[in-house]
Amino acid sequence: MARIFITGSSDGLGKMAAALLLGEGHQVVLHARNEQRAEIARKANPSAETVLIADLSSLTQTVGLAEQVNRLGQFDAIIHNAAVGYREPNRITTVDGLSHVLAINSLAPYLLTALIHKPSRLIYVSSGLHRDGDSSLRDLNWEKRPWNGFQAYADSKLQNVLLALAVARLWPDVFSNALEPGWVATKMGGAYAPDSLQQAPLTQVWLASATDPQVLTSGGYYYHQKPQAVYPDARNVTIQQRYLTQCKEFTGVELPA
Written as one string, the DSSP assignment of 128-156 is GGGGGS-TT-TTTT-SSSPP-HHHHHHHH
Q: Is residue 257 part of a domain?
A: no
Q: Is residue 256 part of a domain?
A: no
pTM to 2 decimals? 0.96
DSSP letter, residue 25: T
What pLDDT sits at residue 120? 98
- In angstroms, the CA 132 to CA 88 distance is 18
Q: Is residue 129 part of a domain?
A: yes
What pLDDT sits at residue 185? 45
Q: pLDDT tens, 126-166?
A: 999 999 999 999 999 999 999 999 999 999 999 999 999 99
> Residue 125's beta-bridge partner residues?
179
Please, is 177 exposed, middle or buried when counting C-beta atoms within 10 Å of its C-beta (0-12, 13-18, 19+)? buried
Q: Is residue 237 part of a domain?
A: yes
Q: Is residue 140 part of a domain?
A: yes
The CATH code of the domain that includes 19 is: 3.40.50.720
Mean pLDDT of the chain: 94
Q: Is residue 83 part of a domain?
A: yes
The residues carrying an active-site annotation are 153, 157
Q: Domain range for residue 232? A: 3-251
Q: pLDDT tens, 216-242?
A: 999 999 999 999 999 999 999 999 999
- In angstroms, the CA 25 to CA 54 distance is 26
What pLDDT sits at residue 86? 83
User: One-letter amino acid identity for 102?
Assistant: L
The stretches in the chain having pLDDT less than 50 are 185
Count how many domains the chain has: 1
Q: Is residue 10 part of a domain?
A: yes
Q: Is residue 205 part of a domain?
A: yes
